[in-house]
Amino acid sequence: MKFWRELRVAIAALLVTGIACAPARALVTFNDSHDHVFVTGSFGVTRDSNVFANRDSDGDFVYSSTVVAEYTRRAGWIGVNASMTVTASKFGKLRSEDFSNPSYAMELTKQSGRTTGSLTLSAARESRADSAVNIRASSWSYNAGLSFKYPVIKRFTVAGSFGYSGRRYIDEVQFANLSTYTAAADLFYLLSNERDLVAGYRFRESETSVNTSTTDHAVTGGVSGRIIKGINGSVRVGYQVRTPHGKTDSAEYRAVTASGSASYVVNYANWNAALNYTLNEHFRASLTYAWFKNWSTVSFADFVRDTWGLTVTSRW
């Protein structure tokens, strides 16, 4: 296979380059070392046992290459992170599923001073197997978010966030485009140096291209930080009300909601393992394995999917 021969040549070039070159902080550094430009290239091969995420799907080998250009700035109160990525993948047998996808991301961060937070923007073209609809589809994903945190007094801190996410399918008339708007507010109480109590409210509104929408309210409380000895994270429990609107037969939904280490509804299981090797600052290799099980009352959507992959990466 011509693509596989080209892939082996590219991997060999990455190995030679990574061994021969001395470490460097960035490909380009300027403005008194406040601004950095990094370029990363990676090549990989993956074996996917279930390409379309359904019970009748075939497996295939996927050969991928990715180029990432990153820009970072650390000067003053505002930090900047920006990136542009292009990923191209070729399938061994299912050549009609070959794709080339760009993605863009930007983040403005403030980590010093009394008020901290971030503003994030991203757009990405994605070609993936969706376990929710059990088919491969291409779409554009858009995201925007604003978050902040402000310590009111010694033990109390207020945090908030606003977000938008959207998915627009490409040439898939059977799928509905989705837009989601969120707003949340939390109050943290410093219980100890390792643990906070938290109470919060979240509002979420989702709209589809088929004139349906939902409005979601949730009030939660819990613990953030050290949950038990050796385990850090967060656990929140609360009450959720979801109201549908438009042309839908769904009724209003009211239930207890849980997030963090506990989940209220389980409809899939996922297990991952990875082995990483770092030669130097410029070269990294990884071997990964993932197992996924989806349960459904529809037999077509009840399936197991496992993937393994080998990826080599060079960053400058």
**Six token digits for residue 223:** 């613990």
Using pLDDT thresholds of 50, 70 and 90, give the confidence band for residue 11.
very low
Could you tell me the end-to-end alpha-carbon distance of the chain, in angstroms, rounded to an integer?
30
Say if residue 155's pLDDT is above 60. Answer: yes
Reading the block at residue 306, the tokens are 């496992």
Residue of 218 and 136 predicted with greater confidence: 218
Between 129 and 107, the higher pLDDT residue? 107
- Given a cut of 70, whether residue 303 has pLDDT beyond it is yes
pLDDT of residue 269: 62
- Percent of the chain at pLDDT above 90? 56
Is 20 a residue whose pLDDT tops 70? no
pLDDT > 50? residue 239: yes
45-66: pLDDT as tens digits: 999 999 998 888 889 999 999 9
User: At 232, is the pLDDT very low, low, confident or very high (cuts 50, 70, 90)?
Assistant: confident
pLDDT above 70: residue 165 = yes
Q: Cβ distance 177 to 171 under 8 Å?
A: no
Instruction: Give the three-class secondary structure for 102.
Output: strand
Percent of the chain at pLDDT above 70? 88
Q: Would you place residue 270 in the very low, low, confident or very high pLDDT band (cuts 50, 70, 90)? A: low
Main-chain dihedrals φ then ψ at residue 311, nearest 5 degrees: -135, 135
Amino acid 27: pLDDT? 79
Q: Token pair of 21, please?
A: 């070159």
Contact criterion met (CB below 8 Å) for 88 and 100: yes
Task: Retrieve residue 179's tokens.
Answer: 């837009």
Cα 107 from Cα 86, distance rounded (Å): 18
Mean predicted confidence (pLDDT) in 245-264: 74
Q: Does the pLDDT of residue 262 top 70, yes or no? A: no
Residues 176 and 201 sit within 8 Å (Cβ to Cβ): no
Residue 7: the pLDDT is 43
pLDDT digits (tens, 9 = 90+) for 193-216: 888 999 999 999 999 988 899 999
Residue 186 has pLDDT above 90, yes or no: yes
Of 38-42, 138-142, 207-211, minimum mean pLDDT range: 207-211
pLDDT in tens, 113-128: 899 999 999 999 999 8
Contact 19, 11 (CB under 8 A): no
Pick from 14-23, 123-132, 150-159, 245-254 the range whose average pLDDT is largest. Answer: 150-159
- Asked whether the beta carbons of 219 and 200 are under 8 A apart, the reply is yes
